[in-house]
Amino acid sequence: MIQAGVVGATGYAGAELCRLLTGHPEAELAAVSSVSFEGKALSDVYPSYYKICDKVCGTQEEVVEKSDVIFAALPHGLSQELAAACDAKGKAFIDLGADFRLENEKDYEEWYGNSFAHPELHRKAVYGLPELFREQIRGKKLIANPGCYTTAVPLALYPALEAGLIEKDGIIADCKSGVTGAGRKMTQNTHYPELNEAFTAYKVAAHRHTPEMEQTLSKAAGSPVTLTFVPHLLPVNRGILATCYARLKPGVTEGQIRATYEMRYAGETFLRLLPKGRVADIKNVWYTNYCDLSLHLDQRAGIFIAISAIDNMVKGAAGQAVQNMNLSFGIEETAGLMLVPPAF
């Protein structure tokens, strides 16, 4: 059994990792840590885990010592030294934060205010979006796990850009997120009276995920892509809905687009390309590692619309991290992730 450890286990993404690892057929939860709840059982923090996951939160050092793979569910800026400690001991490290996602240090400095503390580790790191970069991920020990928006938007647009079916300029990603994406710590805009029965945009054209999405989409296009990204906060716990707009190249048909997506995502267990007439809905992917994708054309305006839906805590965080662990250790990619969404 793979011995897995979670640093930052009492945050939402960390707790979701513990839930998934507890049911994994080839891995077991070896150790967990939490600065805020050190010495407390995970089931004291999340009572639903009682008699299922009662691991006591220890230190980061204990997690590293006891584990073959360490998942870091930490805020940005806190993973680089931990990654170095894991690398020195030959341990696999999967970062759910942003520290290893950007390839360009100037982008990291501009958007996160930090520098690359260990440039050699950044050169080792691979970007963990399996549906797009599976072969680069296999067997690697330092994986940058994409987040919610940075999973939903590239999966929606990558095949069309890769095949040259849409223009590279003027792309818009209009996205909605459940409140768990903001983390467990209370803030004014996630306070219940502020959030309930409200719906608002935030960080308009200034969100830190923008350069990461542009980095992935530029790989698809083979040249730089600039994205207009506007996120919104939904008064729901889970889900990301990404509605992406792009101008069609002249002469491109709906049939061409659908055939391109069917070919690109053929055999992808967790990418469900919906039939014509269906629209992706976050409710249909709750608690799962699926990404539902629906394709639409505004023929009158010449606009392609791709809508993706994921659970931000699973495919947008913990589930994708487990998927990356499976690829890293050479086991069945779907292990521990064949979760059925609730019907209602």
| Catalytic site positions | 148
Q: Are 170 and 270 in contact (CB under 8 A)?
A: no
Could you give the dihedral angle defined by the CA atoms of residues 206, 211, 213 and 218, in that order, rounded to the nearest 10 degrees?
140
Spatial CA neighbour of 3 closest among 85, 62, 73: 62
- The separation between the first and the last C-alpha atoms of the chain, rounded to the nearest angstrom, is 35
Largest alpha-carbon pair distance within the chain?
A: 63
What whole-number distance in Å separates Cα of residue 342 and Cα of residue 344?
6
Contacts of 202 (CB under 8 A, 6+ apart): 189, 231, 232, 233
- Tell me which DSSP letter residue 148 carries: S
Amino acid at 318: A
Provide the b/e sequence for 35-71 (b: ≥16 CB within 10 Å). Answer: eebeeebbbebbeebeeebebbbbebebbbebbbbbb
